[in-house]
Structure 1
């Protein structure tokens, strides 16, 4: 099994160096691909100075995050792809632990792990919750979209996730219309149609939370609109096993309005919070979904998703 770490970047050389170092310092050998969206800050010169340790791709013009990831995957040769944004980085044993888990369950097409959210000083702000029991578990394909719909599966951002290249190639790749705004989640939805999922209850990645992150600049209403589109897409893929247990799309949309109204309130955007709050606040099911989502994030919600534990160490 060969892994390729694909790092997307645009004018963030100081961050990029850290991301590349974390990829090159993995405890198992893997290919490192840097996909550059046309940086003008010396990125090309730096990456090329690393020689054949890194494969470098540069877009002929600025194409955006999604198309840059697609280009990086096209250059990669690994059976598995580990995407990574330039402002994030990996634990040294990230690829080794993923390889061990995948070797036990080769039907998997997507693998995720816990991640620490850190500030610019690399101090931990928060931590992805664990799921299931044990160090590693797999989720049958029939349960994945249900778990994603109700936010029981913290698949998360590129820093956390790896995917099988052949499954990715059966999709259209990352959608440029969702650029930096759920283009990754949209891809996980599509890839999960082709096999099982893995989740490692280990912190193997670090995601930087800072004001200049791309998604931090997206207006809340735009994020809400995209969030609704993503939920509607997941909804159609929920298996028959869970179809009778899911709420209506109208209830899910109302829940998302409540969620983003709380985000607006936290940011002291009172007028926008009130706009998003009403009339969704009248939906009892939306309130139930909000409470369930909060409990799930804290690991206190009993799940109908089958988290199947196993011990890769015994292999």
Structure 2
């Protein structure tokens, strides 16, 4: 293992006092042991800072900054990293012990692969399994439409430099999607290990959960930034948006025929009749 490259594990943390210890433990328990662990405290609350203070002796560095968002936190941590390979890990998620060993082996044997991800358990706040997701990886012809990769992943630091790091304009979520698009546009591949080696925690406070409310603006920004890729695949872009319109119509129809909608419609219709009788 001594000849293996150093991998820097970057863990941005914002108010995840109840999960950060598990995230750090999953980093330290990797079977690949040539690692450094850097936590970036992105302006966390007092409760989280107390937990972080207990982890200080276990990790290589804790960087403290005012709250500036996950993109800034990741970029700051990566800038400080000594390793040529970077593993980003959100503070409410955790990896299985074999991820790094398997991902490292794959990323060093193929120069065209810049980023490694894997299949994932999606768990709730208590760690109970909700479902399993099987991302398939993407290239420049697909990544603009489907992000088939997990946000916590292993990648080459040099590639991070080439794409300018995480885009600081991506403040509302899906920053990993935009980052992956930029990587794919450079001609690199995004590879998926076909094993469940990651656990993504889905809660009401998860960034991607919140990002749903901003999907329109996020997509507008991403498609504008990568207009060259959208126009290169013009027919695919057109079909993508036509499919999205069709999905919206189907969802609207499904809602209008649902029991809750029909019951609400019946209730308000009769309520209006009652009010009219009092006029």
Question: Which residue of 154, 158, 169 maps to 2:161?
Answer: 169
Which residue is equivalent to 2:199? 206
Asked if the contact 2:172–2:218 (Cα under 8 Å) also holds between the matched residues in 1, the reply is no
Q: CA deviation at 1:229?
A: 3.4
TM superposition shift of 1:262: 6.3
Please, what TM-score do these two structures have when normalized by structure 2?
Answer: 0.78
Measured against aligned partners, the alpha-carbon deviations of 1:90-129 in whole angstroms (never above 9, x if no partner) come to 1111111101111321332111211111112322222222
CA distance in 2, matches of 1:71, 1:263: 41
Aligned partners of 2:223 and 2:230 also within 8 Å: no
Partner of 2:270: none
SS at match of 1:43: helix
> Which residue in 2 is equivalent to 1:134?
none
Structure 2: gaps of 5 or more residues: 259-279
Map 1:1-315 to 2 at 5 A: 1-29=5-33, 30-50=35-55, 51=57, 53-59=59-65, 61-129=66-134, 131=136, 144-151=139-146, 154-156=148-150, 158-159=151-152, 161-192=153-184, 193=186, 195-218=188-211, 220=213, 222-231=214-223, 233-234=225-226, 236-237=228-229, 243=232, 247=235, 249-259=237-247
Find the residue that maps to 1:13 and give its secondary structure: coil
Q: Quote the Cα distance in structure 1 between the aligned partners of 2:110 and 2:250.
A: 39
Q: TM-score, normalised by structure 1?
A: 0.70
SS in 2 for 1:53: coil
Shift of 1:144: 0.7
The alpha-carbon distance between structure 1 residues 150 and 38, as it changes in their structure 2 partners (threshold 3 A), is closer
Distance 1:63 1:84, change over 3 A: same
The count of corresponding residues between Structure 1 and Structure 2 is: 250
Q: 1:251 to 1:77 in 2, by over 3 A?
A: same
- Runs of 5+ consecutive residues of structure 1 not aligned to the other structure: 132-138, 271-315
Confirm or deny: 8 A CA contact 1:57 1:75 kept in the other structure. Answer: no
Task: Name the SS of the counterpart of 2:22 in structure 1.
Answer: helix
| Cα distance, 1:173–1:266 mapped onto 2, change above 3 Å | farther
- Contact (CA 8 Å) 1:37, 1:68: kept in 2 or not? yes
Distance 2:37 2:254 in 1: 39
Cα 1:168–1:37 shift into 2, 3 Å: same
Cα distance, 1:247 vs structure 2: 1.7
2:173 and 2:97 map into 1 onto residues whose CA distance is 28
User: In the alignment, is the contact (CA less than 8 A) between 2:115 and 2:190 conserved in 1?
Assistant: yes
Max radius of gyration: which structure? Answer: 2
